[in-house]
Amino acid sequence: MATRSLLFLNSSLSTSFPSPSLLGLHRGRRLAMSGAAPIRLSMSGAEAEAGDVRKEDIVIVGAGIAGLATAVSLHRLGVRTVVLEQAESLRTGGTSLTFFKNGWRVLDAIGVGNLLRPRFLEIQGITVKADDGRELRSFIFKDEDESQEVRALERSVLLETLADQLPKDTIKFSAKLAKAETSQSTETLLELTNGAKLSAKIAIGCDGIRSLVAKSMGFSEPKYVGHCAFRGLGLFPNGHSYKPMVNYIYGRGVRAGYVPITPTKVYWFICFNSSTPGPKITDPTVLKKQATELVNNWSSELLKIIDLTPDDTIIKSPLVDRWLWPAISPPAFVGKTVLVGDAWHPMTPNLGQGACCALEDAVVLARKVASVLNSGSTTMEDALKSYESERWPRIFPMTVRANFMGSLLQWDNSTVCSVRNNVVIPKLVRLGPMLEHTNFDCEPL
């Protein structure tokens, strides 16, 4: 039971639930930055001729958090990259993600932390309640770890900030990958849906959970874990009065939470058991109705936040992950093609570490790649192997742990839930050990 008590709190640390992405206010909203104007990848500003192959040194596939963080990290180390993004501009749909101190250390290392802090509230701690409204426990982060820093960020703001650090035209929009041909001995051939082809000396796959780069390297599709989630961003034009705390509510087979991220926006989520992901629903009115029905007799504050959520910000998504089994899963690199973030290790958001780990990947890989290019002290193959060896012992256990946490908190047995609410959380849980996974040393680039 003591072990389970630790697990309960650990999963309580994820305000990013259920994301793995920091997301902006309006689903489908796009951003175009001055440093990354939308342009179509071509051979000379025009559409590629059939058979033409453009040569590039380093190509990053995907302009999400992992891709942009990798590009900025390499840029800080004097290494030029080309970033391919399939959309016409930065994709910023969704809600928000939470960054713990390990995420902030990386953001500081790549030079954007202080650009983001003033825009988002610092979260003080966690309050846990039962679905009948009883408060079960409260925790203050800095009481357990003075160095802890927790803030929930909007994905749109993070992506814009990262993209603004890159030289103009680094990001090539409308560049959707159709096929990747990886090789142990030759360059990686990337073919786009518009007919353009690139030959990359180093290819970095940052193209998310459905990564075509990962597929070309032999990775399986991520596995559905048995839970789906609604997410949204409540909008309070005149401001709200919520304390900067993560508020969790635990029911039977359903859990929910909300946290203020700015003086006018409050992120919320609802996670529920489902044997299948179910049909894809995009009608925001239907999504809001379904979300409300799941917690109709719960917290009035949660219902108010859902009610004040613009219809087009509500998202429903299945939760998935991929376990990197030793000696079974493919390696993180093939030749000079390597994976970063969700493309390599999609994880459920129960520890709030998906985006944080992607940032960690980015700086670790950038240092190793830049060291080869700038000093030639080792081979690129050895550098990529070192990257995998350093990251795997952190990523694999965290992915398994996050999955286990979610499974425990999704219990629907009434007896088990009663023990959880009346014994485990009020009397046995300790916060300190649950913050250990946020420890990560990262010096400025």
181-to-51, 128, 325 alpha-carbon distances in Å:
15, 49, 24
CA separation (Å) from 386 to 122, 241, 346, 392? 35, 48, 21, 10
Report H helices in 328-376.
Answer: 354-375
pLDDT at 25: 31
CB 200 within 8 A of CB 56: yes
Q: What structural domains and CATH numbers belong to the chain?
A: 2-438 (3.50.50.60)
Which has the closest alpha carbon to 343: 59, 54, 64? 64
Alpha helices by DSSP H, 25-93: 65-76
Predicted confidence at residue 302, as pLDDT, reads 96
Instruction: Kindly write down the DSSP assignment for every residue of 156-172, as one continuous string.
Output: HHHHHHHHTTSPTT-EE
How far is residue 331's CA from residue 310's CA, in Å, rounded to a whole number?
Answer: 42
Residue type, 203: A
Please count the other Cβ atoms lying within 10 Å of the Cβ belonging to residue 98.
28
State residue 52's pLDDT score: 85
Task: Report the distance separating Cα 173 and Cα 38, nearest Å.
Answer: 5
DSSP SS3 for 58: strand
Phi and psi of 15, rounded to 5°?
-75, -15
The H or E element containing residue 288 is helix 284-294
The answer to whether residues 177 and 213 touch, using CB atoms and an 8 Å cutoff, is yes
Give the strand pairing for 188-192 and 254-262. unpaired
Strand partners, 96: 154
Per-residue pLDDT of the chain (445 residues; tens, 9 = 90+): 333 333 333 333 333 333 333 223 333 333 444 344 333 444 333 344 556 899 999 999 999 999 999 999 999 999 999 999 999 999 876 688 999 999 999 999 999 999 999 999 999 999 999 999 999 999 999 998 999 999 999 998 999 999 999 999 999 999 999 999 998 888 999 999 999 999 999 999 999 999 999 999 999 999 999 999 999 999 999 999 999 999 999 999 999 999 999 999 999 999 999 999 999 998 999 999 999 999 999 999 999 999 999 887 899 999 999 999 999 999 999 999 999 999 999 999 999 999 999 999 999 999 999 999 998 888 999 999 999 999 999 999 999 999 999 998 999 999 999 999 999 999 988 888 888 999 999 999 9
Q: What's the pLDDT at 31?
A: 41
pTM of the model: 0.88
pLDDT at residue number 51: 63
What pLDDT score was predicted for residue 94?
Answer: 65
So what's the pLDDT on residue 53? Answer: 93
Q: Give the phi and the psi of residue 351 in degrees, each rounded to 5.
A: -105, -5
